[in-house]
């Protein structure tokens, strides 16, 4: 039986309460658990309604095979970037409520115009034509579930696709449209020591493909991607382990660099 409007709202309230309190739960109660992606996105939409500011944009979780295995799903998931969890480059982020304890290096795109739902899929070229800028970014994902790998894709969508904090770097001045983002490399460091290298192909084969996937995923669920919104396309390197007090930096070469620091525990 499909979830009622009241059940959808109650599920969102429960997830949001755990997010705010920095606590976790094994799973949603059976009577509130989404059975489909559509129900997951309906719950997620109510999380957006709890934000006091306009939606900043969208994230994509599980854009690599390793990422899908890590959270126990068989394909990507979309989540919302709430303004209260978006930070400027170089900001100090609160450590509280971090359970995954990882940071991710991501290609992020800012949209120049709306892309509304439609019956025909959007092509990569159409989606790129609606982009105004490319940015280096850091995502700090997390989940409100104790064992997020066991709850399933619909519940993880309801859990905002493990969205938590996000740092958007400055728009690149490089001619990114003329570049091969598939082969473009990024280097991540933690506390100036740990170094991991990633590459664009780790993001659904190409960050531009991931962006088009997001647009079509939203379209399939009657959601418009709005002008000015940002889409961060998923990690291009193995997530970086972080601890309180660490500084994380990701260097995308000519595309730019972005960093953030975490506060004390």
Dist. CA 70–CA 87, nearest whole Å: 26
* Percent of the chain whose predicted confidence (pLDDT) is above 90: 93
Domains of the chain: 54-262 (3.90.850.10)
For the cut 90, the answer to whether the pLDDT of residue 38 exceeds it is: yes
pLDDT at 97: 85
* DSSP one-letter string for 82-131: -GGGEE-TTPEEP-TT-SS-EEEEEEEEEESS-B---SSPPPHHHHHHTE
Dist. CA 14–CA 6, nearest whole Å: 12
CA atoms within 13 A on the CB side of 69: 4
pLDDT mean across residues, the chain: 96
| Residue at token pair 């899908």 | 68
Q: What is the mean pLDDT of residues 109-122?
A: 98
Q: How confident is the model at residue 67 (pLDDT cuts 50, 70, 90)?
A: confident
C-alpha dist (Å) from residue 66 to 4, 73, 111, 226: 34, 10, 28, 30
For the cut 90, the answer to whether the pLDDT of residue 43 exceeds it is: yes
pTM for the whole structure: 0.96
pLDDT, one tens digit per residue, over 169-206 is 999 999 999 999 999 999 999 999 999 999 999 999 99
pLDDT at 265: 84
Q: What is the mean pLDDT of residues 41-70?
A: 93
Question: How far is the first Cα of the chain from the last one, in angstroms, to the nearest whole number?
Answer: 43
Q: How confident is the model at residue 27 (pLDDT cuts 50, 70, 90)?
A: very high
Return the number of other C-beta atoms located less than 10 Å from residue 46's C-beta: 18
Give the pairing type, strands 257-262 and 92-93: parallel
Instruction: Identify the sign of the CA torsion 229, 213, 78, 262.
Output: negative
Q: How confident is the model at residue 9 (pLDDT cuts 50, 70, 90)?
A: very high
Angle (CA) 107-12-22 rounded to 5° is 70
């Amino acid at each position: 039986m499909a979830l009622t409007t009241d059940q959808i709202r109650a599920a969102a309230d429960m997830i949001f309460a755990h997010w705010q309190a920095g606590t976790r739960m094994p799973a949603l109660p059976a009577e509130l658990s989404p059975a489909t992606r559509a129900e997951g996105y309906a719950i997620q939409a109510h999380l957006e309604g709890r934000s006091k500011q306009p939606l900043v944009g969208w994230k994509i979780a599980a854009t690599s095979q390793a990422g899908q295995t890590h959270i126990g799903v068989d394909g990507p998931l979309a989540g919302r970037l709430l303004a209260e969890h978006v930070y400027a480059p170089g900001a100090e982020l609160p450590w509280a409520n971090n359970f995954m304890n990882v940071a991710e290096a991501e290609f992020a795109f800012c949209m120049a115009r709306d892309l509304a739902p439609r019956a025909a899929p959007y092509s990569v070229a159409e989606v790129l034509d609606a982009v105004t800028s490319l940015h280096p970014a850091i995502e700090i994902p997390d989940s409100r579930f104790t064992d997020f790998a066991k709850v399933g894709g619909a519940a993880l969508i309801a859990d905002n696709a493990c969205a938590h904090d996000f740092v958007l770097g400055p728009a690149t001045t490089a001619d990114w449209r003329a570049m091969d983002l598939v082969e473009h490399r990024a280097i991540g460091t933690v506390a100036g020591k740990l170094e991991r290298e990633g590459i664009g192909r780790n993001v659904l084969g190409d960050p531009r493909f991931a962006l088009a996937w997001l647009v079509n995923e939203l379209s399939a669920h009657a959601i418009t991607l709005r002008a000015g919104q940002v889409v961060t396309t998923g990690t291009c390197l193995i997530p970086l382990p972080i601890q309180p007090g660490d500084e994380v930096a990701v260097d995308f070469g000519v595309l730019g660099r972005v960093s953030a620091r975490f506060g004390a525990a």
